[in-house]
Amino acid sequence: PAAGQVAAPAARVTIDHSAFDALLRAHAADGLVDYDAFRQAPSFRRYLTLLERASLDGADEQERLAFWLNAYNAYTIQLIVTHGERESIRQINRTFGVLRLKGPWSEPLVRAAGRRLTLDDVEHRILRREFHDPRIHFALVSASKGSPPLRAEAYTGAALERQLFDQGG
């Protein structure tokens, strides 16, 4: 800026999670998910593409945390949809005798922010390592009866503090 002028504040970088939010509001209730509705929804495929192409450059910590929480939960849904497993997520990529598969959380299906990852990578190498918020545990949904219920709304940077407080309460 010229002398005597104040620089305009930088625009806040946000990721649009509205498609995922609409799907969650319509197809997730009381911790239950209509996986067939997600499988059939073109907006879910578009949202996964948005996650893959998203850039987190310039995003603040709240926005990045919301992004990775949504990516984890969306790709957990995608894992179930891809494999068609409805009884137990633990049946996916299960170990059979000498054939050692690594389980559902080790399949490299997550494509987010230009990276290819497993759900374990997102949880342990990104969320737990980069963000030191114990409430993350209550926000990650592993599609099992013992996991926290899936929120019927997407996480957003602007609402994250309220959402994590509510989810952990």
Write down the pLDDT at residue 71.
Answer: 97
Q: Residue 44 in contact with residue 75, Cβ under 8 Å? A: no
Unique residue bearing structure tokens 């970088």: 13
Residues near 152 by beta carbon (within 8 Å), at least 6 away in sequence: 24, 25, 28, 29
Q: Which one is predicted more confidently, 18 or 104?
A: 18
Q: What's the mean pLDDT in 94-107?
A: 58
Three-state DSSP class for 73?
helix
Three-state DSSP class for 71?
helix
Dist. CA 38–CA 43, nearest whole Å: 8
Lowest mean pLDDT among 27-31, 144-148, 153-157, 161-165: 144-148
The pTM assigned to this predicted structure is 0.83
Q: How far is CA 22 from the centre of its chain?
A: 14
pLDDT band at 3 (very low <50, low <70, confident <90, very high): low
CA distances in angstroms from 40 to 11, 44, 138, listed in the order given: 35, 8, 28
CB hemisphere CA count around 126 (13 angstroms): 24
CB hemisphere CA count around 103 (13 angstroms): 7
pLDDT in tens, 103-159: 666 778 899 999 999 998 999 999 999 999 999 989 987 665 666 788 999 999 999
Q: Is residue 81 pLDDT above 90, yes or no?
A: no
pLDDT band at 4 (very low <50, low <70, confident <90, very high): low
Three-state DSSP class for 118?
coil
Write down the pLDDT at residue 86.
Answer: 52
pLDDT in tens, 46-80: 999 999 999 999 999 999 999 999 999 999 899 88
Q: Cα Rg for the chain, rounded, in angstroms?
A: 17
Write down the pLDDT at residue 11.
Answer: 57
